[in-house]
Amino acid sequence: MSSFAVELKHVSRHYGAVKAVDGVSLSIQDGEFFSMLGPSGSGKTTCLRLIAGFEQPTSGSILLHGQEAAGLPPYERDVNTVFQDYALFPHMSVLDNVAYGLMVKGVAKATRHKEAEAALELVALAGFGSRRPGQLSGGQRQRVALARALINKPRVLLLDEPLGALDLKLREQMQTELKSLQRRLGITFVYVTHDQGEALSMSDRVAVFSQGRIEQVDSPRNLYTRPKTVFVAGFVGTANVVKGELARRLTGSERPFSVRPEHVRFATSAEGNRVSVEGQLVEVQYHGATSRYEVRVEGNQVLTVSLLNGEADEASLPRRGETVRVAWAPEAMVQLEQGGG
C-alpha cells in the first residue's frame, strides 16, 4: 500500500467554461500537516471538496490511502471535514452534534454519548454537551466542529478555512492548538487557507494555488526562500519581482527574479560584488519593528526596502524625494518562472 494519505492525479473540475481546478496533481503523506494556500477563487477549496466528496472531478483520479475515491459519495469516505461556517446542526445539542457520526452508523445511544463526551474533553469543552450550538461563542463552536469531525476517527481531517471567522487573538491561539492536536493524534490534516502566515507557521508542506493550478508544493521555508514562480514570490511574503529590461541587465537572463525587501539595503555607490540600481525614494512607511522604503527605479518598477528600525543610523537614512541607490547580494536573487500569476 502506498504511504500517501491523499493522492490527486491530473484532477480537473470544470463548471461549464470555468476551470475551478485544472489538472492538479499532488501527494499528501500520511500524518502530514498539509496546507492548500491561495487567494479566493484559486481552486483550493474546490480541491478540498473533491477530496471530501462534495464535488466529483470532471476528470482525473483521487486516491485515499491508495484506493480510488472518485465517484464515492462523501458518506463512504474515511475523511471528515471541519467547515468554514462550522455547519453545526442548530436543532441538536452539542453532544448530539458530536455524536452524529456514530448515530448514523447505528452505535447505541449510551456508547456514542460516552464517546462524544470524550471527544468534547479532547477539545477542552467537557460539560458543554447539553447546550445548543447557538449558545456557544465562535471559538467554542469551532471546537465542537472539530470534535464532531474527529468522532469517526478519520485518517484524514479536512479543514476549510476553519479559523476564518475568529478574531486575531483567538485565531493565533487556535493555530497552536490545532498544530498540537495534529501532532498528538498523528492523523493527516489537509488545511485550506488564504492566510499565508497561517499556512507557513503550521504546515509541514504547503501547496500554493492560483487560477485552478498548483504553482508550487514545498516546505514553508523553501516557499519563502526559493519561490519558483512570480505568483508564489508575491503571494508568500512580500517580494520585489524585477522583470523586463532591468532584469536582463542585472542578471543577463530574460527571466524575472525576486529579492526579498529585507535583503535590500541602501548603498552609497556601486559596490563590486553587489547588485545595485539607482532610483527615487517615493514612500516611507513606519511599521514598528521595521520601516519600508519604496524606491522607483527604471522601467517604472518599485522596489521595497525593509530595514529594522534602530539598526541603521537615523541621520544617514534617505528622505522622500531623494535619489538613492539600493543594493543586494547576488545570492539573494531567485530566478522565477512566469507561472499562472
Partner 1 sequence: MRSEARREDGPRAPVWLRVLAYGGLLFLHFPILMVGLYAFNTEESAFSFPLKGLTLRWFQAAAAREDVLGAIKLSLQVALAATGVALVLGTLLAGALYRRRFFGKEALNLMVILPIALPGIITGIALLSAFRLAEVTPNFWTIAVGHATFCVVMVYNNVVARLRRMPHSLLEASADLGADGFQTFRHVALPQMATSLLAGGILAFALSFDELIVTTFTAGHEKTLPIWLLDQLGRPRDVPVTNVVALWVMLITAVPILVAWRLTQGTEDVAGSSR
Partner 2 sequence: MDTLPGMALPAPARPRAGLARTVANVLYRRRTLYLLLLLTPPLLWFGVVYLGSLLSLLVQSFYTFDDFTMGVTPELTWANYQALLDAANHDIILRTLAMAGSVTVASAVLGFPVAYYMARYATGWRKGFFYIAVMLPMWASYIVKAYSWTVILSKGGIIYWMVERLGLLPALEWALALPGVGGSSLSTSNLGRFLVFTYVWLPFMILPIQAAIERVPGNLLQAAADLGARPAQSFRTVLLPLAFPGVVAGSIFTFSLTLGDYIIPQLVGPPGLFIGNMVYTMQGSIGNIPMAASFTVVPIVIIGIYLTVARRLGAFDAL
Which residues sit at the interface with partner 2, rule CB under 8 A? 71, 73, 75-76, 78, 101-102, 104-107, 111, 114-115, 118-119, 121-122, 150-153, 155, 184-187
Given partner 1, partner 2, none, residue 108, with its beta carbon under 5 to 8 Å by kind, binds none
**Contact, 120 vs 129, CB < 8 A?**
yes
Residue 89 site contact among partner 1, partner 2, none (CB < 5 to 8 Å, cut-off depends on kind): partner 1
Residues 6+ apart with CB under 8 A from 242: 250, 256, 257, 258, 259, 301, 303
226 binds, among partner 1, partner 2, none (CB under 5 to 8 A by kind): none
Contacts of 306 (CB under 8 A, 6+ apart): 238, 260, 261, 262, 264, 290, 291, 292, 293
Is residue 81 a contact point for partner 1 (CB under 8 A)? yes
**Euclidean distance between CA atoms 193 and 312, whole angstroms:** 36
189 binds partner 1 (CB under 8 A): no
Best CA proximity match to 3, nearest among 64, 44, 57, 59: 64
Binding mask 53-72 for partner 1 (x = CB under 8 A): xx------------------
The nearer residue to partner 1, 102 or 241, going by C-beta atoms, is: 102
| For partner 1, the closer CB: 53 or 237 | 53
Distance in Å, CB of 65 to partner 2, minimum: 12
Segment interacting with partner 1 (CB under 8 A) among 8-16, 49-57, 170-178, 257-265: 49-57
Is 101 a binding residue for partner 1 by CB under 8 A? The answer is yes
- Give the nearer residue to partner 2 in terms of CB position, either 169 or 184: 184
* Cβ at position 71, least distance to partner 2 in Å: 7
- CB-nearer residue toward partner 2: 80 or 258: 80
Residue 111's binding partner among partner 2, partner 1, none (Cβ under 5 to 8 angstroms by kind) is partner 2
| H helices present in 163-210, as ranges | 168-185, 196-202
Query: Starting from the edge strand earliest in sequence, which strands make up the sheet with 275-286, in order?
Result: 265-267, 323-328, 275-286, 290-297, 302-308
Residue 317's binding partner, choosing from partner 1, partner 2, none, with beta-carbon cut-off 5 to 8 A by kind? none
Quick one: which segment of 4-12, 50-58, 320-328, 333-341 binds partner 1 (CB under 8 A)? 50-58
> Whole-angstrom Cα distance, residue 145 to residue 24?
28
What is the grid cell recorded at 68? 480510488
From 5, 26, 52, 187, residue interacting with partner 1 (rule: CB under 8 A): 52
Contact 53, 77 (CB under 8 A): yes
CA-based Rg of the chain, rounded to a whole angstrom? 24
Whole-angstrom distance, CA of residue 199 vs CA of residue 216: 14
| Stretch 117-156: interaction string toward partner 1, x if CB under 8 A | -------------------------------xx-xx----
What ranges in the chain are assigned the alpha helix state H? 44-52, 94-103, 109-122, 138-150, 168-185, 196-202, 220-225, 230-235, 244-251
Binding of partner 1 at residue 38 (CB under 8 A)? no
Residue 39 in contact with partner 1, rule: CB under 8 A? no
* φ and ψ of 266, to 5 deg: -80, 145
Smallest separation, CB 45 to partner 1 (Å): 12
Residue 91, judged by CB atoms within 10 A of its CB (0-12, 13-18, 19+), counts as exposed
